[in-house]
Amino acid sequence: MSMRESSGAGARKGPVRPDTVVDAALALVNHGGLESLTMRRLSDALATQPPALYRLFSDKGALVDAMADAVLASALGPLPQADWQTRISVLAGRLRAAMLGQRDGARIVGGSYTSRQPTLTLADSLLAAMEEAGFTGEAAVYAVTTVFSYVLGEVLEQQGRTEVDLEEVTAKFSGADYPHLAGSPLSAMLDFDARFAFGLRAITAGLREELAREG
């Protein structure tokens, strides 16, 4: 066996960087889904060895946290000089687009509580808009988590959705047994842009009502 074969073909020269590892991990997920991501596959993609990765990330969970921050980073940017409802809508739309831009983006972001700049900046911007609206203390935090959880759930649903044959689905139930389903435009369920916009309007309307009730 030659020295090249024993040390691994295409071995990397020099140490890997955290951002390089995160980019490679996201690329692996884009190719094969989150289940395909292992430290072994990642080290092979980077032409290095797993110990080199564990020097940067203590475990896979720490790596996924860093991946979540990278996903959320694309949602950052200057906000329009507008009322709080508009700013919340812009932030929610950017958050949705950021997660949709990465395969399994919602699964990567969901449950990740990191203290890195992208996550903290996004949370701070959402909180600032809620405080400007008039929410304070726990109410402001709950308002933020309500919006965030809605966006996360909608993206999770959209990214997890496989192709649906609505004609096949509707053929399985009768109007007599399920009159409301039979009379509904079920195709609207798959119009993710429209349903997201509807839900976000409903949430902001509910937040305005909650402010009025507390006031």
The answer to whether position 138 is within a domain reads yes
pLDDT at 82 over 60: yes
Q: Which residue has the tokens 């809605």?
A: 150
Total domains in the chain come to 2
For the chain, the average pLDDT equals: 87
What sign results for the dihedral spanned by CA atoms 89, 93, 94, 99?
A: positive
**74 versus 14: which is more confidently predicted?**
74
The answer to whether residues 52 and 90 belong to one domain is no
The answer to whether residues 122 and 165 belong to one domain is yes
pLDDT of residue 185: 81
Which CATH number fits the domain that encloses residue 124? 1.10.357.10
The percent of residues in the chain predicted with pLDDT above 70, rounded, is: 91
Q: Looking at residues 6-32, what average pLDDT do you find?
A: 79
The answer to whether residues 149 and 198 belong to one domain is yes
The answer to whether residues 113 and 170 belong to one domain is yes
The answer to whether residues 89 and 138 belong to one domain is yes
The answer to whether residues 90 and 122 belong to one domain is yes
pLDDT of residue 5: 31
pLDDT of residue 106: 96
The answer to whether residues 85 and 189 belong to one domain is yes
The answer to whether position 182 is within a domain reads yes
Q: Which residue has the tokens 């609206």?
A: 133
Confidence class for position 1, pLDDT limits 50, 70, 90: very low
Q: Looking at residues 47-64, what average pLDDT do you find?
A: 94
Residue 175 and residue 151 in contact, taking contact as beta carbons nearer than 8 Å: no
Quick one: which of 74, 75, 92 has its CA closest to 129?
A: 92
pLDDT of residue 7: 34
| Domain coverage including residue 28 | 10-57
Question: How far is 196 from 69, CA to CA, in rounded Å?
Answer: 23
The answer to whether residues 139 and 181 belong to one domain is yes
Which CATH number fits the domain that encloses residue 22? 1.10.10
Q: Looking at residues 139-155, what average pLDDT do you find?
A: 95
